[in-house]
Amino acid sequence: MLISAVLPCYNEDKVLAMTYSELSAEMKEITDDYELIFVDDGSHDGTRAILRQFAEKDGHVRYISFSRNFGKESAMLAGLQYSSGEYVVIMDSDLQHPPELIGQMLAYARQGYDQVIAQRDRTGDKKLGSFFARSYYRLVDRLTDVKLTDGIGDFRMLSRKALNALLTMNEYNRFSKGLFSWIGFREKIIHYKNRSRAAGESKWSFRSLVRYGVDGVLSFNNKPLRFCIFIGAFAILISLMYLIFLLVGIIFKGIDMPGYFTTIFTICFFGGVQLISIGIIGEYVGRIYYEVKRRPHYLVDETNFSKENKGQ
């Protein structure tokens, strides 16, 4: 097998036919030695039925249907684990990742680049959204030990070598953008013009974006923990100085009415510092809790892969 394409799909019945035909046409131009792996991430629309149909009439199509929605990260992981191509391309199923780039990606991959990454520009994005996204990337880039770049997502082609490296990381809380960057290897970035999705709607809500954002910061470092220590130390220092200041006052002027404002301020300030710190620690503890359970990343309900096929 030369190329595997991995496409996570969650409630994509409006766009799948389009994606399938564009992608198949592109693949056929490159080679006949390809597979399209659609991972149905617990959709509750017609996605599964459509995939079944594709698979019936086209031997290149594989599909994996989860028992429920496990999230895009798990869907990608499943597709990658089942793939058998020498090169694997990961892409969204809403045609936001243009299939016509695959030929170019393959050319670079064959030159020995282990990760060929497609970077989008921000054409057509909402101004405010892209401002927040860009600031977020800058922040994460600062905070964490891995490098993240604006406009770089999951759309990329991996060599078998890079893929095997990626699959050695079996953590439960997966943050692919970080994992891709963590494995390293030779990278090549190509650029493309941003596209809006061909049909259907985005699965990201504000809440899921925030959750994803927190994942990104916490998965790759323990700097937030260090930050708690730093804030704590700073607060202690300030309060010590304040104590000395009060003592000096008492010695020279005697005891007068202690300030109501400062007392309340202190209580509030330290209350805040402690809550933030406990929250951050709680996030890490929660993650440890999920990791030690060693639960599977996903459960397969239905697939046209035979058992032996998995993990070639």
Residues that bind ligand UDP in the complex, under the rule CB under 6 A: 8-10, 12, 41, 69, 71-72, 75, 92-94, 96, 197, 202-204
Spatial separation of the C-alpha atoms in residues 73 and 290, rounded to whole Å: 15
14 binds, options Mg ion, ligand UDP, none, Cβ within 5 to 8 A by partner type: none
203 binds, options ligand UDP, Mg ion, none, Cβ within 5 to 8 A by partner type: ligand UDP
List the structure tokens of 16. Answer: 């799948």
Spatial separation of the C-alpha atoms in residues 200 and 24, rounded to whole Å: 20
Instruction: Single out the residue of 52, 134, 195, 197 in contact with Mg ion (rule: CB under 5 A).
Output: 197
- Distance in Å, CB of 195 to Mg ion, minimum: 9
224 binds, options Mg ion, ligand UDP, none, Cβ within 5 to 8 A by partner type: none
Do 80 and 159 meet the contact criterion of CB atoms below 8 Å apart? no
- Distance in Å, CB of 221 to Mg ion, minimum: 28
Nearer to ligand UDP, 12 or 35 (CB): 12
Nearer to ligand UDP, 96 or 303 (CB): 96
Say which residue the tokens 């993240």 belong to. 148
By the rule CB under 5 A, 154 interacts with Mg ion = no
Applying CB under 5 A, the site for Mg ion has a residue count of 4
Do 104 and 190 meet the contact criterion of CB atoms below 8 Å apart? yes
Instruction: Single out the residue of 96, 115, 159, 176 in contact with Mg ion (rule: CB under 5 A).
Output: 96
Measured between alpha carbons, how far apart are the two ends of the chain, in Å?
11
- Distance in Å, CB of 20 to ligand UDP, minimum: 13
Alpha helices in 168-259 (DSSP H): 176-183, 206-219, 223-253
- Distance in Å, CB of 224 to ligand UDP, minimum: 25
SS3 content of the chain, % helix, strand, coil (to 5): 55, 15, 30
Do 300 and 65 meet the contact criterion of CB atoms below 8 Å apart? yes
**Contacting range for Mg ion; rule: CB under 5 A; set: 24-32, 93-101, 172-180, 235-243:** 93-101
- Nearest Cα neighbor of 65 from 12, 131, 134 is 12
277 binds, options Mg ion, ligand UDP, none, Cβ within 5 to 8 A by partner type: none
Nearer to ligand UDP, 55 or 231 (CB): 55
- Distance in Å, CB of 245 to Mg ion, minimum: 57
Nearer to ligand UDP, 211 or 226 (CB): 211
Nearer to Mg ion, 48 or 72 (CB): 72
105 binds, options Mg ion, ligand UDP, none, Cβ within 5 to 8 A by partner type: none
**Contacting range for Mg ion; rule: CB under 5 A; set: 87-95, 135-143, 188-196, 271-279:** 87-95
Spatial separation of the C-alpha atoms in residues 133 and 227, rounded to whole Å: 23
- Distance in Å, CB of 12 to ligand UDP, minimum: 5
List the structure tokens of 244. Answer: 């000395």
Alpha helices in 114-222 (DSSP H): 127-143, 160-167, 176-183, 206-219
Q: Which amino acid is at 50?
A: I
Do 231 and 270 meet the contact criterion of CB atoms below 8 Å apart? no
By the rule CB under 5 A, 94 interacts with Mg ion = yes
- Distance in Å, CB of 284 to ligand UDP, minimum: 24
User: Which residues of the chain form contacts with Mg ion (CB under 5 A)?
Assistant: 92, 94, 96, 197
